[in-house]
């Protein structure tokens, strides 16, 4: 707008001073007025177009502001809600993981309990089957013996397998009185000359049968109760396992869905946050741009009004009747020529114009040249314009110098920062890779330790089971050998009673209870009753006179002593082996416990080290991400610097040389103009005199 005002002033000056050069025929002022009116119309049209564009822009500002405000409000309300949903989801994930761990532990415990109960039940069932088989055989043998004695067929019965079963029962049963044992032993091993007391034997056998039946019934009841309890336990545990399995499956499905939802919510939160920042930034820029545009529009409208006022005033001045009359008198005719001026004045002006035209690159030089082309030239004003132009060019050159220095410094700083960030990213990548290698190595070591602990626990369990089995075998051996020694001693003592009475050791007398006396009385009554009602078998054939087998009995007793000694030796060896085995087992268990404690501590240490490495790797990864973002921002800054500075740096020298040439040309023109002396002023007076009074 300032340029237009200057142009108006120059046009007015030209209109007053350039009639000779334009060679107007009738009324040259009319042409100037027409030009001013055309300018006036153009300014009005530009103003109307600008108002239309401004109204559209302000409509955009208003609507865009409302839309962005609504978007920002929705995002600000959404962010805390999504954050709360994420926190609630993560809390639920933590609870679900805890529940799953508890359910899995409970299910494993239930399955272990089922396995242990099944193992115990199988062991109990096997023991009951053995007991029942043995009891059935013993009861059958006692029943057959009772029937055989009752029918007088004891001789044939003794040759059967049932007799052998009964014989083993009598020898191994501990709850039989010694007299009854001796009686039954004598019956089962009777020779031809032995006449058994059938009634007494039958009573003993019936008593044994009743006892065994009662024991078998009790064992059967216990077994049935155990089977029922086992079934109830297994049903309850199976129900518990099914319920836990269902809960685990449902919670795992929920956990998977929830984790996916959390990831989606985090992505949504991140997108919403980014969109919120962008909307706020855009809104701030929009408000700023709208305010700037409003200020520019107001300034333009004010300048345009001033311009229209200047044009209107100028037209009014030129169209004034007095002015027109004056122009007729003062403006030169068609034959007027500037050749009437002094040659020195024209040469000086033309030299200055030639210099300015040769160096003219800036539009401001055109104004100086335009001022020099006028007929009435104020050299003081032109010299001032030249000085101002030189100052402007020098200021522009200083701005270029400062800009170049700024660009060079910024490029150095940005390049240094880029290199530093690249080194940081490289170092972080190496740290992450090293951490991953350490994590992988520790994971392998942890796996090896876990496998070693599991193998050690398995070995301990196997050794414990083996120790239990060996101990059971030892106890069974000691019990069986002790029982065998007792039977052999009983047999030896019985032989001594007959063959070596002096060596016989009578058993201690036993105090009988009232029940025992009643049972003996009842037994005697039964025997008496049987003797009274059952006919005795026919007597066997008579044998030769009896003679003791003293020599043979001595050999038998010696063999019994030898067997007792062997059993004693076997028991001594077994006891020593059991003691050594137990000591070895305890030592092994102690060493295993120490080894397991060391491995467990090492496992915990390595787990802690692995967790620390994972945390370091995660932190390095996050730091790498942040550093990478900073590096990208730095690269964008460098790119922006190139966009801002490359053109200046590329053409700096050219611009400097061109500007120096313009300054030199201005100084030359000033020198030329400054060289005007009094004759130039006189020429000016002569020039003015051609126009009449001032």
Task: Using DSSP, state whether 541 is helix, strand or coil.
Answer: coil
Angle, vertex CA 689, rays to CA 688 and CA 693, nearest 5: 90
170 close to 181: Cβ distance less than 8 angstroms: yes
Question: In this structure, is residue 653 part of a structural domain?
Answer: yes
Residue 172: the pLDDT is: 64
Angle, vertex CA 66, rays to CA 64 and CA 70, nearest 5: 115
Residue 560: the pLDDT is: 79
Q: Which of 5, 8, 13, 17 is nearest to 35 (CA)?
A: 8
Residue 118: the pLDDT is: 92
Residue 427: the pLDDT is: 92
Q: Which of 148, 174, 152, 173 is nearest to 161 (CA)?
A: 148
Residue 67: the pLDDT is: 76
Which CATH number do you get for residue 621?
A: 1.10.287
Taking the C-alpha atoms of residue 600 and residue 74, their distance in angstroms, rounded to an integer, is 54
**DSSP per residue, 174-231:** SSS-HHHHHHHHHHHT--TT----HHHHHHHHHHHHHHHHHHHHHHHHHHHHHHHHHH
Burial of 230 (0-12, 13-18, 19+ CB in 10 A): middle
Question: In this structure, is residue 567 part of a structural domain?
Answer: yes
Question: In this structure, is residue 326 part of a structural domain?
Answer: no
Question: In this structure, is residue 684 part of a structural domain?
Answer: no
Is this model's pTM higher than 0.85 or not?
A: no
Q: Which of 201, 194, 169 is nearest to 523 (CA)?
A: 201
Which tokens in the block code for residue 33?
């007025």
497 close to 186: Cβ distance less than 8 angstroms: no
634-to-405, 409, 413, 621, 641 alpha-carbon distances in Å: 19, 15, 10, 19, 10
Question: In this structure, is residue 645 part of a structural domain?
Answer: yes
Phi, psi of 203, rounded to the nearest 5 degrees: -65, -45
> CB-based contacts of 567: which residues, under 8 Å, 6+ apart?
481, 484, 485, 488
| Residue that is written with structure tokens 């009435």 in the block | 376
Task: Using DSSP, state whether 647 is helix, strand or coil.
Answer: helix
Q: Which of 312, 327, 330 is nearest to 30 (CA)?
A: 327
Taking the C-alpha atoms of residue 509 and residue 486, their distance in angstroms, rounded to an integer, is 18
The terminus-to-terminus CA distance of the chain in angstroms comes to: 31
Residue 684: the pLDDT is: 39
Question: In this structure, is residue 291 part of a structural domain?
Answer: no
Task: Using DSSP, state whether 311 is helix, strand or coil.
Answer: helix
| Residue that is written with structure tokens 């491995």 in the block | 599
Taking the C-alpha atoms of residue 346 and residue 354, their distance in angstroms, rounded to an integer, is 12
Neighbours of 144 (CB within 10 A): 19
Sign of CA dihedral 358, 359, 363, 365: negative
Taking the C-alpha atoms of residue 158 and residue 393, their distance in angstroms, rounded to an integer, is 147
597-to-129, 460, 583 alpha-carbon distances in Å: 43, 14, 21
What is the block-wise mean pLDDT of the chain (694 residues), using blocks of 10 residues? 45 42 50 76 86 83 75 88 91 91 91 92 90 82 72 60 68 65 65 53 77 87 91 91 92 86 88 85 78 86 83 75 62 41 51 59 58 57 77 86 86 89 91 91 90 90 89 88 80 73 73 53 39 40 42 66 86 91 89 88 88 89 90 88 86 86 79 54 36 36
Neighbours of 198 (CB within 10 A): 19
Sign of CA dihedral 58, 59, 65, 71: negative
How would you write 11-42 as a 3-class SS string? HHHHHHHCHHHHCCCCCHHHHHHHHHHHHHHH
Q: Which domain holds residue 624?
A: 407-506+552-671
- In the chain, the number of structural domains is 1
Q: Which of 149, 161, 162, 154 is nearest to 191 (CA)?
A: 154
Question: In this structure, is residue 448 part of a structural domain?
Answer: yes
Task: Using DSSP, state whether 651 is helix, strand or coil.
Answer: helix
> CB-based contacts of 623: which residues, under 8 Å, 6+ apart?
428
Element (H, E) at 316: helix 198-319
Question: In this structure, is residue 348 part of a structural domain?
Answer: no
């Amino acid at each position: 707008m300032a340029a237009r005002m200057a142009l108006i002033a120059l046009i007015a000056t030209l209109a007053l001073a350039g009639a000779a050069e334009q060679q107007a025929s009738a009324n040259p002022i009319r042409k100037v007025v027409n030009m001013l009116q055309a300018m006036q119309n153009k300014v009005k049209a530009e103003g109307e177009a600008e108002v239309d564009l401004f109204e559209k822009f302000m409509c955009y500002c208003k609507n865009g502001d409302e839309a962005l405000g609504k978007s920002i409000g929705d995002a600000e309300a959404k962010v805390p809600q999504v954050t709360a949903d994420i926190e609630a989801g993560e809390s639920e994930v933590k609870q679900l993981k805890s529940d799953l761990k508890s359910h899995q532990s409970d299910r494993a415990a239930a399955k272990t309990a089922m396995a242990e109960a099944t193992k115990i039940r199988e062991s109990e069932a096997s023991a009951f089957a053995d007991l029942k088989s043995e009891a059935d055989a013993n009861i059958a043998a006692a029943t057959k013996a009772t029937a055989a004695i009752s029918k007088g067929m004891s001789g044939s019965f003794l040759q059967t397998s049932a007799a052998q079963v009964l014989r083993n029962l009598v020898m191994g049963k501990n709850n039989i009185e010694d007299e009854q044992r001796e009686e039954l032993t004598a019956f089962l091993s009777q020779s031809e000359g032995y006449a058994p007391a059938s009634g007494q034997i039958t009573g003993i056998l019936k008593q044994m049968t009743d006892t065994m039946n009662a024991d078998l019934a009790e064992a059967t009841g216990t077994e049935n109760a155990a089977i029922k309890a086992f079934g109830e336990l297994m049903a309850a545990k199976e129900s518990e396992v099914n319920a836990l399995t269902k809960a685990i499956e449902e919670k795992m499905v929920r956990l998977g869905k929830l984790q996916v939802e959390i990831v989606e919510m985090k992505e949504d939160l991140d997108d919403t946050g980014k969109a919120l920042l962008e909307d706020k930034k855009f809104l701030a820029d929009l408000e700023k741009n709208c305010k700037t545009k409003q200020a520019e529009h107001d300034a333009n409208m004010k300048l345009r009004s001033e311009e229209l006022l200047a044009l209107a005033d100028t037209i009014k001045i030129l169209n004034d009747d007095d002015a027109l009359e004056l122009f007729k008198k003062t403006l030169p005719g068609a034959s007027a020529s500037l050749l009437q001026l002094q040659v020195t004045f024209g040469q000086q002006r033309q030299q200055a114009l030639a210099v300015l035209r040769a160096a003219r690159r800036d539009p401001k030089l055109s104004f100086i040249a335009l001022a020099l082309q006028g007929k009435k030239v104020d050299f003081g004003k032109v010299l001032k314009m030249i000085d101002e132009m030189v100052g402007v060019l020098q200021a522009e050159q200083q701005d270029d110098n400062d800009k170049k220095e700024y660009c060079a410094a910024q490029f150095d700083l940005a390049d240094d920062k880029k290199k530093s960030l690249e080194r940081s990213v490289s170092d972080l990548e190496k740290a992450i890779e090293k951490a991953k290698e350490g994590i992988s190595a520790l994971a392998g070591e942890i796996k090896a330790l876990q496998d070693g602990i599991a193998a050690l626990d398995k070995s301990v369990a196997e050794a414990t089971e083996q120790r239990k089995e060996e101990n059971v075998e030892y106890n069974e051996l000691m019990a069986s050998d002790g029982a065998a020694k007792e039977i052999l001693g009983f047999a030896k003592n019985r032989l001594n009673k007959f063959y070596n009475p002096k060596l016989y050791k009578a058993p201690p007398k036993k105090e009988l209870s009232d029940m025992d006396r009643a049972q003996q009385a009842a037994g005697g009554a039964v025997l008496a009753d049987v003797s009274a009602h059952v006919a005795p078998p026919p007597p066997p054939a008579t044998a030769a006179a009896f003679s003791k087998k003293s020599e043979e009995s001595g050999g038998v007793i010696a063999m019994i002593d030898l067997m007792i000694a062997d059993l004693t030796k076997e028991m001594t060896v077994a006891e020593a082996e059991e003691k050594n085995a137990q000591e070895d087992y305890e030592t092994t268990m102690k060493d295993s416990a120490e080894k397991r404690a060391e491995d467990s501590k090492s496992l915990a240490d390595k787990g802690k080290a692995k967790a620390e490495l994972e945390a370091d790797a995660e932190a390095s990864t996050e730091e790498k991400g942040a550093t990478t973002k900073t590096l990208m921002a730095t690269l964008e800054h460098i790119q922006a610097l190139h966009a801002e500075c490359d053109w200046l740096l590329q053409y700096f020298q050219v611009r400097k040389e061109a500007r120096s040439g313009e300054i030199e040309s201005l100084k030359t023109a000033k020198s030329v103009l400054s060289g005007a002396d009094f004759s130039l002023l006189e020429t000016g007076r002569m020039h003015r005199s051609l126009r009449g009074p001032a």
